[in-house]
Amino acid sequence: MTVPRTMRAMVLTQPGKPLELRELPAPRPGPGQLLLRVRCCAVCRTDLHLVDGELPSPKLPVIPGHEIVGEVVAAGDGAERFEPGQRVGVPWLGWTCGECSHCRAGRENLCENARFHGYTLDGGFAELTVADHRYAFPLPPGYGDVEAAPLLCAGLIGYRTYRLAGEEIDRLGLYGFGAAAHIVAQIAVHQGRKVFAFTRPGDTAAQEFARALGAVWAGGSDETPPQELDAALIFAPVGPLIPAALRAVRAGGVVVSGGIHMSDIPSFPYRILWQERVVRSVANLTRRDGDELLALAPKVPIRTHTEVLPLADANLALDRLRAGDVEGALVLDCGESPLSR
Ligand SMILES: [Zn+2]
Ligand SMILES: [Zn+2]
């Protein structure tokens, strides 16, 4: 495969401004890196937080995108684990130091020196990208490129959020029924759990979508579920959902927030936290989360619902995500020839 000299990319130059379509020099793989021709890249709410200036200290300019399905074009020295032509998935976690106390304790998701694709490293809203081979995953062969893309963040972070809620769950609440929840719902149903889906009040289309994926109940986030929940996962960046979820979980229940950014949480009475209820957040992912989710996906089997837009329409994709006008996940087609599922 010949390496092009230039590539098209959607670039963020300044938070608060739209992405700009630019022609840039093609990246070159350094030691340990893969050069990837990006086939597609899913759009995540974190991309929206980045563009809206809600994440501190991004690399600027930066190419967003961290749910990358790519084909290896060339491997730098030491990156021979993958061969040219092989398909790989590249997630948010792009590099860790291996030396800080978190890395040494097996918590690389909390590495003090971590780098992230589409934030502090360039990402996948481009025709080409580079990635450290140690943080790239082989993808399950039964999945098309577009179908696999949302597994790489909605799937991985969703899975970590679900895992941190613990094992003792029969009734699971999902607040915000977007890309992550539509994947987690399928895992939970497969594992015999009852899913209660909470959407924006009045969003009957999302509630219908949740029921179609096996939710036993779907309603607005302002509604009380018909039964107490054992745990609740929050995938919408809306602070008031924390006390709402605490009110819905049983004594000893867990509320886990999966997002990187959330509006302020309003004050709430201690009694809704009392009785050993727990509130916790999830940060990033470990490679173990990726290995586990990608092994589990074909067994469920997880089917992702996607809509494909051209790379140049990345701003439109972000606008639609902001408006909640997405069923499942939006995926940017970054290849030269249009993708079909
Ligand atoms: Zn570290
Ligand atoms: Zn993401």
Assign 3-class secondary structure to 216-265: CEEEECCCCCCCCEEEEEECCCCCCHHHHHHHHEEEEEEEEECCCCCCCC
How far, in Å, from the CA of 95 to the mean position of ligand 1? 9
* Residue of 308, 334, 330, 305 lying closest to 319 (CA atoms): 330
Handedness of CA 214, 218, 221, 223 (dihedral sign): negative
Q: SS3 of 159, please? A: helix
Give the Å distance between the CA of 156 and the centre of ligand 2: 9
The rounded Å distance from CA 289 to ligand 2 centre is 14
Residue 178 one-letter amino acid: G
Which helix (H) or strand (E) segment holds residue 145: the answer is helix 145-148
138/128 Cα distance (integer angstroms): 18
**Ligand 2 geometric centre to CA of 244 (Å):** 24
Q: How far is CA 296 from CA 27, 299, 339, in A?
A: 33, 5, 25
Could you tell me the distance, in angstroms and rounded to a whole number, from the CA of residue 99 to the centre of ligand 1? Answer: 5
The CA 135 to ligand 1 mean position distance, Å, reads: 14
pTM: 0.95
Q: How far is ligand 2, taken at its centre, from the CA of residue 40, in Å?
A: 14
What pLDDT, on a 0 to 100 scale, did the predictor assign at position 337? 52
Beta-carbon neighbours within 5 Å of ion ligand 1: 96-97, 100, 103, 111
Q: In this predicted structure, what is the pLDDT of residue 80?
A: 87
For the chain, give the number of residues.
341
Cα(78) to ligand 1 centroid in Å equals 21
| Tens of pLDDT, residue by residue, the chain (341 residues) | 677 899 999 999 999 999 999 999 999 999 999 999 999 999 999 999 999 999 999 999 999 999 999 999 999 999 989 999 999 999 999 999 999 999 999 999 999 999 999 999 999 999 999 999 999 999 999 999 999 999 999 999 999 999 999 999 999 999 999 999 999 999 999 999 999 999 999 999 999 999 999 999 999 999 999 999 999 999 999 999 999 999 999 999 999 999 999 999 999 999 999 999 999 999 999 999 999 999 999 999 999 999 999 999 999 999 999 998 999 999 999 986 555 43
Q: How close is the Cα of 287 to the center of ligand 1, in Å?
A: 13
Q: 255 forms bridges with which residues in the sheet?
A: 232, 279
What is the distance in A from the centroid of ligand 2 to the CA of 58? 15
State how far the Cα of 49 lies from the Cα of 44, in Å rounded to an integer. Answer: 9
Q: Residue 127, class by beta-carbon neighbours within 10 Å (0-12 exposed, 13-18 middle, 19+ buried)?
A: buried
Taking each helix axis as running N to C, give the angle between helix 179-190 and helix 204-212, from 0 to 180 degrees, rounded to the nearest 10.
30
How far apart are the CA of 45 and the centre of ligand 2, in A? Answer: 6
- Measured in angstroms, how far is the CA atom of residue 28 from the centroid of ligand 1? 25
Place of tokens 């996948």: 124
C-alpha 6 to ligand 1 mean position (Å): 33
- Distance CA(329)–CA(179), nearest Å, equals 5
**Cα-to-centroid distance, 189 and ligand 1 (Å):** 35
Whole-number Å distance, alpha carbon 53 to ligand 1 midpoint, is 25
Looking at the CA of 155, name the nearest ligand.
2
